[in-house]
A and B are shown apart, each in its own frame.
Chain A
Amino acid sequence: MTAKVLVLAGYGLNCEEETLHAFEYNGLKGNIRHINDLIENPAELKDVQILVVPGGFSYGDDTGSGNAFAQKMKLSLMDQLKQFVARDTLTLGICNGCQILANLGMVPGFDSKYGERLVAVTYNLTARYQCRWIDVQIESASPWLDGASSMHIPVAHGEGRFMMDDKTLKTLESNGQLAVKYVKPDGSAAGGQFPYNPNGSTADIAGITDQSGKVLAIMPHPERGMFTWQRDDYTELKDAAQREGKTLPETADGMALFKNAARYFEVAKKDVA
Chain B
Amino acid sequence: MPRIEVLSHPDDGRAKQIEKALNAKGKKTSVRVVDVYTSEHEKIASKDFIESVSNPVTQQVNVVFDNFDWALEIGFLPGVTDNVGHTAQEIMELIGADNDNQCYSARLYLIKGDVNKADIEDLSEDIANKLIQRVSIKDAASFKKDGGMGEIIPKVVLDNKGAAADEVNLDVSDAELEIIGKDGIENADGTRRGPLGLSLQYLHAIRDYFQNVEGRAPKDIELETLAQTWSEHCKHTIFASPIDNIKDGIYRHYIKRATNDIRAAKGEKDICVSVFSDNAGGIIFNDEYLITDKVETHNSPSALDPFGGSITGIVGVNRDCVGFGQGAKPIINRYGFCLADPRTEPEYYRDKNKTIPILPPKTIMNGVVQGVEVGGNCSGIPTPQGFVHFDDRYVGKPLVFVGTIGLIPREINGKPGHIKGAKAGDKIVMVGGRVGRDGIHGATFSSVALDEGSPATAVQIGDPITQKKFSDAIVKEIRGKGWYNGITDNGAGGLASSVGEMAEQSGGFHLELEKVPLKYPGMSPWEIWISESQERMTLSVPKENCQKIIDFLAKRGAEATVIGTYTDTGRAHITWNGETIMDMAMDFLHDGIPETPLTTTFTEGGEAEPDIAEPSDYNQTLLEMMGRLNICSKEFVATQYDHNVQGSAVLGPIQGKGRVYAETSVSKPVLTSEKGVVLSQGLFPRYSDIDTFYMAASALDASVRNAVAAGVDFEQLALLDNFCWCSSDEPERLGQLKRAAEAIYDLAVLYGTPFISGKDSMFNDFKGFDADGNPVKISAPPTLLVSSIGVINNVDQAISLSPKAVGDVVYLLGETEDELGASEYYDHLGHIGKNVPKVHGPRNVMLYKIYCTAAKKRLISSALPVSHGGLGVALAKKAIAGQMGLDIDLSSIDLRTDKALFSESQGRILVTVAPQNVKDFEKAFKKFHHVRKIGHVAHSHKLKINNVLDVEINKLDEAYKAPLRDY
Q: How far is the CA of A122 from the CA of B657 in the complex (A)?
A: 30
Q: How far is the CA of A229 from the CA of B647 in the complex (A)?
A: 10
- Residue numbers of A with Cβ under 8 A of B are 9-15, 17-18, 21, 34, 36-37, 40, 55-57, 59-64, 67-68, 70-72, 75, 103, 117-120, 122-132, 154, 156, 158, 161, 163-165, 199-200, 221, 223-224, 226-227, 229-230, 232-236, 238-240, 242-243
Q: A10-B556, A163-B57 are in contact. Are A129 and B650 (CB under 8 A)?
A: no
Contact between chains at A57 and B647 (CB < 8 Å): no
A37 proximity list for chain B (CB < 8 A): 555
CB proximity of A240 to chain B, nearest CB, Å: 7
Q: A67-B55, A132-B639, A156-B642 are in contact. Are A224 and B804 (CB under 8 A)?
A: no
Contact between chains at A120 and B57 (CB < 8 Å): yes
Contact between chains at B644 and A154 (CB < 8 Å): yes
Q: Which of B2-27 contact A (CB under 8 A)?
A: 8-9, 11-14, 16-17
Contact between chains at A63 and B57 (CB < 8 Å): no
Q: How far is the CA of A158 from the CA of B639 in the complex (A)?
A: 11
B649 proximity list for chain A (CB < 8 A): 224, 230
Residue of B nearest to A34 (CB): B556
- Residue numbers of B with Cβ under 8 A of A are 8-9, 11-14, 16-17, 35, 37, 48, 51-59, 83-84, 86-88, 90-91, 94-95, 105, 373-374, 377-380, 463-465, 468-469, 472, 555-557, 638-652, 654-657, 668, 671, 795-796, 798-800, 802, 804-805, 858, 861-862, 914, 916
CB proximity of A243 to chain B, nearest CB, Å: 6
B469 proximity list for chain A (CB < 8 A): 10-12
B377 proximity list for chain A (CB < 8 A): 57, 129, 156, 158
CB proximity of A2 to chain B, nearest CB, Å: 22
Residue of A nearest to B14 (CB): A127
Q: How far is the CA of A14 from the CA of B858 in the complex (A)?
A: 35
Contact between chains at A163 and B58 (CB < 8 Å): yes
Contact between chains at B378 and A57 (CB < 8 Å): yes
B638 proximity list for chain A (CB < 8 A): 131
The residue that B57 contacts in the complex, of A17, A165, A233, with Cβ under 8 A, is A165
Contact between chains at A64 and B796 (CB < 8 Å): no
Contact between chains at A125 and B16 (CB < 8 Å): yes
CB proximity of A174 to chain B, nearest CB, Å: 19
Q: How far is the CA of A68 from the CA of B84 in the complex (A)?
A: 11
CB proximity of B574 to chain A, nearest CB, Å: 34
B52 proximity list for chain A (CB < 8 A): 63, 67-68, 70-71
Contact between chains at A117 and B87 (CB < 8 Å): no
Q: How far is the CA of A17 from the CA of B858 in the complex (A)?
A: 32
B805 proximity list for chain A (CB < 8 A): 239-240, 243
Extra A-B contacts (20), CB below 8 Å, given A12-B378, A120-B55, A126-B17? A11-B469, A12-B468, A17-B646, A34-B556, A59-B87, A60-B83, A62-B86, A63-B88, A67-B52, A67-B53, A71-B52, A117-B56, A127-B17, A164-B57, A223-B647, A229-B795, A230-B650, A234-B798, A236-B802, A242-B914
CB proximity of A117 to chain B, nearest CB, Å: 6
CB proximity of B22 to chain A, nearest CB, Å: 14
Residue of B nearest to A67 (CB): B52
- A-B pair count, CB < 8 Å, reads 206
Looking at B83, B91, B643, B655, the one whose CB has the most chain A CB atoms below 10 A away is B91
The contact sample of 13 A-B pairs, CB cut-off 8 A, is A10-B557, A62-B88, A63-B84, A118-B57, A125-B16, A127-B14, A129-B373, A129-B641, A156-B377, A224-B649, A227-B647, A230-B650, A235-B862
Contact between chains at A18 and B13 (CB < 8 Å): no
Contact between chains at B13 and A103 (CB < 8 Å): no
Contact between chains at A14 and B802 (CB < 8 Å): no
Contact between chains at A131 and B639 (CB < 8 Å): yes
A132 proximity list for chain B (CB < 8 A): 639, 654
Q: How far is the CA of A19 from the CA of B658 in the complex (A)?
A: 30
A128 proximity list for chain B (CB < 8 A): 639-640
CB proximity of B468 to chain A, nearest CB, Å: 6
Q: How far is the CA of A70 from the CA of B91 in the complex (A)?
A: 11
A131 proximity list for chain B (CB < 8 A): 638-644
CB proximity of A247 to chain B, nearest CB, Å: 11
Contact between chains at A224 and B647 (CB < 8 Å): yes
Q: How far is the CA of A132 from the CA of B649 in the complex (A)?
A: 12
Closest 7 CB pairs of A and B: A14-B380, A18-B647, A62-B87, A120-B57, A123-B13, A235-B800, A71-B52
Residue of B nearest to A129 (CB): B640
Q: How far is the CA of A178 from the CA of B867 in the complex (A)?
A: 48
CB proximity of B670 to chain A, nearest CB, Å: 10
A165 proximity list for chain B (CB < 8 A): 57
Contact between chains at A11 and B465 (CB < 8 Å): yes
Looking at A9, A14, A158, the one whose CB has the most chain B CB atoms below 10 A away is A14
Contact between chains at B652 and A232 (CB < 8 Å): yes
B655 proximity list for chain A (CB < 8 A): 235
Contact between chains at A120 and B644 (CB < 8 Å): no
A68 proximity list for chain B (CB < 8 A): 52, 87, 90-91, 94
Contact between chains at A125 and B13 (CB < 8 Å): yes
CB proximity of B665 to chain A, nearest CB, Å: 13
CB proximity of B800 to chain A, nearest CB, Å: 4
CB proximity of A118 to chain B, nearest CB, Å: 7
Q: A71-B91, A129-B373, A232-B654 are in contact. Are A36 and B647 (CB under 8 A)?
A: no
Q: A71-B91, A131-B640 are in contact. Are A126 and B13 (CB under 8 A)?
A: yes
Residue of A nearest to B383 (CB): A131
The residue that A239 contacts in the complex, of B464, B646, B861, with Cβ under 8 A, is B861
A163 proximity list for chain B (CB < 8 A): 9, 57-58
Contact between chains at B804 and A239 (CB < 8 Å): yes
The residue that B13 contacts in the complex, of A67, A70, A164, A200, with Cβ under 8 A, is A200
Residue of A nearest to B672 (CB): A21
Residue of B nearest to A119 (CB): B57
CB proximity of B957 to chain A, nearest CB, Å: 15
Residue of B nearest to A118 (CB): B57
Contact between chains at B14 and A62 (CB < 8 Å): no
Q: A129-B642, A224-B645, A243-B916 are in contact. Are A59 and B465 (CB under 8 A)?
A: yes
Q: How far is the CA of A228 from the CA of B802 in the complex (A)?
A: 18
Q: How far is the CA of A39 from the CA of B14 in the complex (A)?
A: 35
Contact between chains at A235 and B91 (CB < 8 Å): no
B648 proximity list for chain A (CB < 8 A): 18
The residue that A57 contacts in the complex, of B465, B556, B799, with Cβ under 8 A, is B465
B91 proximity list for chain A (CB < 8 A): 63, 68, 71
Q: How far is the CA of A123 from the CA of B15 in the complex (A)?
A: 10
A164 proximity list for chain B (CB < 8 A): 57
CB proximity of A241 to chain B, nearest CB, Å: 10
